[in-house]
Amino acid sequence: MARTSLIILVFLGVLTGVIFAADPSLDLRAASFFYDLAAQPGVRRLDQAIETVRQVGPFVIVAATAPAAVTLIMRTLCPRRPTLISTRAALFLILSLALGPGLLVNVVLKEGWARPRPGMVTQFGGDYTFMPWWDPRGGCDSNCSFVSGETSAAVWMTAPAMLAPPPWRNVALAAAGLYGIAFACIRLLAGGHFLSDVIFAAIFTGLVIWTVHGFLFRWPFSRVEEGALNAALEKLGRSAMRIFVSVAQSRGPRPDKPAPPA
């Protein structure tokens, strides 16, 4: 299953790259379609609902990562107390989110790939030249179009879905997939991204999730036992506590110096 997932992701990535490189105008035609669709009265009446969904997105991510954060804190400071999820699962959620939507998408790509957004290019009334996905040059200075950060964060919800109990896992993965598609469509309707931006956001995020999951769960050369992970966090907690106590004592009240002899 894991190998099949990788093959599908790589195949879709290569296919998307080739198609949109061979005919970059596909991005413009798709953007024009969603631009016209967003102008329809029936869609415009949904503007408030769509914006509400966008505003809720970050809270969904916080809710999904909260058990992981609490688990790591508890394993560090109160290692004997039971936790909602395993340490390995907590690390999987935190690392996949930090490395995928966090580092790769919002730091490396969106800040280093100067592709203008649809609303910024001349074809839609902007001032910048349209750039195909493969060309990092462009007029955008920061928070650029390639790739979609909100789509990446929405697709990341497949990570907690992978941890669902087996009877519910397929349902959770399907729900996460629909959630990611919904956010991709929202960003396209808003004119915030080209079609290739949201497709690549999903693929790159999926590849990061696949890699982190393999590192923590599947690959024998990197898999660390749960007990060793807990012991490492407990040791980290003791070290942090010693440092905290040492700093607190160094800043505590000092006894008055004795008066000099007469």
* Predicted TM-score of the model (pTM): 0.91
Q: Is residue 18 part of a domain?
A: no
Domain count, the chain: 1
* pLDDT tens sequence across 205-232: 999 999 999 999 999 988 889 999 999 9
> What domain range is 43 assigned to?
25-242
The per-residue pLDDT for range 142-162, each reduced to its tens digit, is 999 999 999 999 999 999 999
Cα separation, 48 vs 50, whole angstroms: 5
Q: Is residue 16 part of a domain?
A: no
Report the Cα 97 to chain-centroid distance in Å: 4
- pLDDT tens column, 2-25: 899 999 999 999 999 999 999 999
SS3 content of the chain, % helix, strand, coil (to 5): 70, 0, 30
Residue 176 is assigned to a structural domain of this protein:
yes
- Considering the domain boundaries, does residue 259 fall inside one? no
Rounded distance between C-alpha atoms, residue 38 and residue 34, angstroms: 6
